[in-house]
Structure 1
Amino acid sequence: MPALVEVRDICKIYNPGENEVRALDHVSLTIEEGEFVAIIGQSGSGKSTLMNMLGCLDTPTSGIYLLHGMDVSHMSDDEQSDVRNREIGFIFQGFNLIQSLTALENVELPLMYRGVPKRKRRELSVAALEHVGLGKRMTHKPSELSGGQQQRVAIARAIAQAPPILLADEPTGNLDSGSSREIIATIKNLYAEGRTVILITHDPGIAAQAKRIITISDGKIAKDEINENFTL
């Protein structure tokens, strides 16, 4: 069985030539199915560029990215979009909810774009919202929900069609400490159920919640270690 994620010697270079910037500099890593990995780095370290690669939002200048054994390194935008829809559930710092839609409609929307029939997408969306503890808030719009609840809607949207990878980009960045703890607990529960979670953060306290911590600095992997203090 191939690894879920395999990155081989990836570089991402901006402004090639005299003033080139190596956002990623010969990065290689493997993530197996069912892992909970945090990728941590300061602003400008390359962690966001790496997230864009892993999320099929960008392509490398050189190197190979295999997802489920399939080379996605140099796909067209349409091909990458198809892979993203099928393989990756995104959780963003800014929630990215549509304000005029209810929680349920926000979760249903990407399923509609994927061509999921109406009854099935309603069923999946209700189940996902119940899963994150929002069964009684489905008809509320984002403005009627707290920040933590909005992020849980975003998590429900990410898990509704059970993608192989959950990719969480600074998921607690806009939340207070209490809501942050709730969101991390929700993400840990999803990992405990067998989902693969990749968490991008600049915060050592958030990274310390993951089972494996990859530190990126100056476009390179500086450390890749198992968190001995990990608990569910």
Structure 2
Amino acid sequence: MQPLIRIENMNKVYNPGENEVRALDGVSLQIMQGEFAAIIGHSGSGKSTLMNMIGCLDAPTSGKYFLNGRDVSGMNDRELSIVRNEEIGFIFQGFNLIANLDAIGNVELPLIYRGIDRRNRREVSKEALRLVGLQGRMKHRPAEMSGGQQQRVAVARAIAAKPPIILADEPTGNLDSHSTEEIMNILKELHRNGRTIIVITHDADIASQAKRVIKIKDGRIEADSLNS
């Protein structure tokens, strides 16, 4: 089976020259369709840079990145934007919701850019909100919801278009323990239903709930193991 994600000898260098910072240093990695992987590392380890590469938010200095069989490492900004919109659902620590839109409006927003007509995107958004248990909050704006509910809206937005990859950057970083458990249970359920889940975290407890843990340090993969 072809890997969904294949990274070959990837490097990312900032400030090339005497004061260069090698954020990624020869990283090679494969993630198969349907995996639930956690990428863990301390601040400055390179995990956020690796997330930006996997999410097509930045381009490597050198190396190759194949996503779903396509070489995306040399794509321009417009091409990368299309890949992001079609292939990856993002969940961020800060929710990134639009304050003056209700829950269903926030979920619909990326569907507009995909060219989905209003009727279909409304139905798709309602279904996504039902999946995360917010069928009773569809008309609520972010300020009218708890942090956990806002993050569930963000999850619904990420999964609405059924992208093959869910990329979650510290998805529980701003949440209490109860909301953290809710979000992790949603991610586990998505994984059981066949989604590929990649969580970026510094929290060993969060990483322990994934099926695979990839540890990064000083821009290099230090360990790559399966959880029992």
1:17 Cα offset (Å): 1.1
Unaligned stretches of 5+ residues in structure 2: none
Aligned to 2:93: 93
Counterparts of 1:157 and 1:26 in 2: how far apart (Å)?
33
Matched, 1:14 2:14: yes
Aligned to 1:215: 215
Aligned to 1:24: 24
Counterparts of 1:78 and 1:151 in 2: how far apart (Å)?
28
**Could you list the per-position Cα deviations for residues 28-52 of structure 1 after superposition, in whole angstroms to 9, with x for gaps in the alignment?**
0000000000000000000000000
Count how many residue pairs are aligned between Structure 1 and Structure 2.
228
**Could you list the per-position Cα deviations for residues 177-218 of structure 1 after superposition, in whole angstroms to 9, with x for gaps in the alignment?**
111111111111110111000000011111111000000000
Over aligned residues, Cα RMSD in angstroms? 0.6
Give the counterpart letter for 2:173 in structure 1: G
Aligned to 2:83: 83
Unaligned stretches of 5+ residues in structure 1: none
Give the counterpart letter for 2:100 in structure 1: S
1:113 Cα offset (Å): 1.6
Q: Would you identify which runs of 4 or more consecutive aligned residues in structure 1 move more than 2 Å?
A: none
**Could you list the per-position Cα deviations for residues 92-120 of structure 1 after superposition, in whole angstroms to 9, with x for gaps in the alignment?**
00000011110000000110122111111
Q: Percent identity?
A: 66
Give the counterpart letter for 1:167 in structure 2: L
**Could you list the per-position Cα deviations for residues 150-178 of structure 1 after superposition, in whole angstroms to 9, with x for gaps in the alignment?**
00000000000100000000000000111
Counterparts of 1:138 and 1:113 in 2: how far apart (Å)?
21
Q: TM-score, normalised by structure 1?
A: 0.97
Counterparts of 1:187 and 1:114 in 2: how far apart (Å)?
23
What is the SS of the residue equivalent to 1:143?
helix
Aligned pairs (5 A) from 1:128-207? 128-207=128-207
Counterparts of 2:149 and 2:14 in 1: how far apart (Å)?
38
Counterparts of 1:17 and 1:69 in 2: how far apart (Å)?
33
1:2 Cα offset (Å): 2.1
Give the counterpart letter for 1:188 in structure 2: K
